[in-house]
Copies of this chain bind each other. A is one copy, B any other.
Amino acid sequence: MNDTVKFVLDEERLPKYWYNVVADLPAPPPPALHPATHQPLGPDDLAALFPLSLIEQEMSAEREIEIPGPVRDLYRQWRPSPLYRARRLERELDTPARINFKYEGVSPAGSHKPNTAIPQAFYNKEAGIRRIATETGAGQWGSSLAFAGALFGIDVEVFMVRVSYQQKPYRRALMETWGATCTPSPSERTAAGRAILAQRPNHPGSLGIAISEAVEIAVQRADTHYALGSVLNHVLLHQTVVGLEAIAQLELADDYPDIIVGCTGGGSNFAGIAFPFLGQQLRGGRTVRIIAVEPSACPTLTRGQYAYDYGDTAQLTPLTKMHTLGSTFTPPGFHAGGLRYHGMAPLVSHVQELGLIESRNYHQLACFEAGVLLARTEGILPAPEANHAVRGAIDEALRCKEEGVSRAILFNLCGHGHFDMQAYMDYFAGKLTDQTYDEGELAMALAGLPSVPGV
């Protein structure tokens, strides 16, 4: 009646290698470009920001990249993470679909972000780095890097989007408990921040601005590096541990997904669950429908332009070809703060251009409705970001019901919502609305995309 179906993987089966989808793609992704010269980026161009080992991963076309022993050791604190068959949800929906979900909320920071925070801290420690600067929106990435920094004895400085800093003091407290410092962005600490505050003293901040500040801090001192929690190739690479485990767990279940649903902001969660399956398909395995789900209020993949753009507002970062709403675009303040980014990971953008994935967008009310249904059937309360994936999976399950077909659906429940209860309170109080961006602002941001001759 109340069966729990959990597929547990022995610790020994924790993946020994991350999977790099670049090795299997029919065409290589366009190179990142130097912001000044517009020439393809070389390893030296990134040396002020990242250790060489991460730069190599960023540019690698190797299929498998070994997970260092100390990283696997630390992964083992919460990995392999469980994979559940959502039988109670299936019954509630009265669907013939088989819904499976991977659950990443079991990490100490409560999301999938430590999967990359741990190796990033490890490689920086190996390179003698003593301090890492980073940005965070809702705080999931910042708290994950704070966690990793505590374990490796690295100081972590987080620039937190000011509106989130004010709205989410508990995420900030979590970072501080792990010993990190947390500064509201834009701040007076950087030239980028000061320039913005001079124009608009109460600027609410954005991820693009916070990235500019963190990068500026990182390049100032030789003992300091920068870290990003999504978007980049090496970040997506680290997250493939999720999908690799899911493959092994579904083998135990004697099943294989027909459909994979992933929510996507910067793209690392989506890539983490989807790319290992995509790789099997590209190497001659079964074809999987892969659906990226994003917020309607920040529809990068579904409304953005595929173009070279900056990752940040101050245009300090390299240019990467991606689906973008323009680096000056400020998404409205909906609750899935982790999905509020103007761009999409270049690799995710590239596989969409290759026709290997679909994308769709949802408004937030429909996502919260799905999240509450998951909480009441499966007992796990998802983060607002994860609710997008839940919504997508439920819609596919309902389609199976309509069509009378049993398909296997897999999604990643990328984090719990214990730090997002204000959003649920607002939802229950009827205070939450479906937000939209300003079409004029989007047009202006897209018109401002950098012109990159010859590409």
Contacts and interface: CB of A to CB of B under 8 A. Distances in A.
Interface of A: 1-4, 6, 8, 10-11, 70, 73-74, 76-77, 82, 84, 88, 106, 108, 110, 147, 150-152, 169-170, 173-174, 176-179, 372, 375-377, 379-381, 418-419, 421-422, 424-425, 428
Report, nearest first, the 5 A-B pairs whose CB atoms are least far apart: A170-B421, A173-B421, A418-B418, A173-B425, A108-B379
A292 B178 CA distance: 28
A375 B173 contact: no
12 contacts: A2-B74, A3-B73, A6-B11, A6-B76, A77-B82, A108-B379, A150-B377, A151-B379, A173-B424, A173-B428, A174-B421, A174-B424
Give the one of A8, A77, A179, A428 with max B CB within 10 A.
Answer: A77
Given A2-B152, A4-B74, A151-B88, A421 B108 contact: no
A2 B151 contact: yes
Contact of A11 (B8, B152, B419): B8
A428 B76 CA distance: 30
Copies in the complex: 2
Contacts of A177: 372, 375-376, 381, 421, 424, 428
B376 A150 contact: yes
Contacts of A379: 77, 108, 147, 150-151, 178
Contacts of A11: 6, 8
A176 B375 CA distance: 10
A373 to B, nearest CB: 11
A2 to B, nearest CB: 5
B421 A4 contact: no
A179 B376 contact: yes
Nearest to A72: B4
Contacts of A3: 70, 73
Given A2-B73, A174-B418, 12 more contacts: A2-B74, A3-B73, A4-B74, A4-B76, A8-B11, A108-B379, A169-B425, A173-B428, A174-B421, A177-B376, A178-B379, A418-B419
A140 B74 CA distance: 28
Nearest to A105: B108
Contact of A380 (B82, B108, B380): B108
Contacts of A372: 177
Contacts of A106: 106
Given A173-B421, A381-B108, A428-B176, A375 B6 contact: no
A418 B110 contact: yes
Given A150-B375, A178-B376, A428-B176, A169 B421 contact: yes
A364 to B, nearest CB: 15
A176 to B, nearest CB: 6
Nearest to A7: B11
Given A150-B375, A375-B177, A422 B8 contact: no
A247 B2 CA distance: 28
A174 to B, nearest CB: 6
Contacts of A419: 418
Nearest to A107: B379
Contacts of A8: 10-11
A120 B8 CA distance: 26
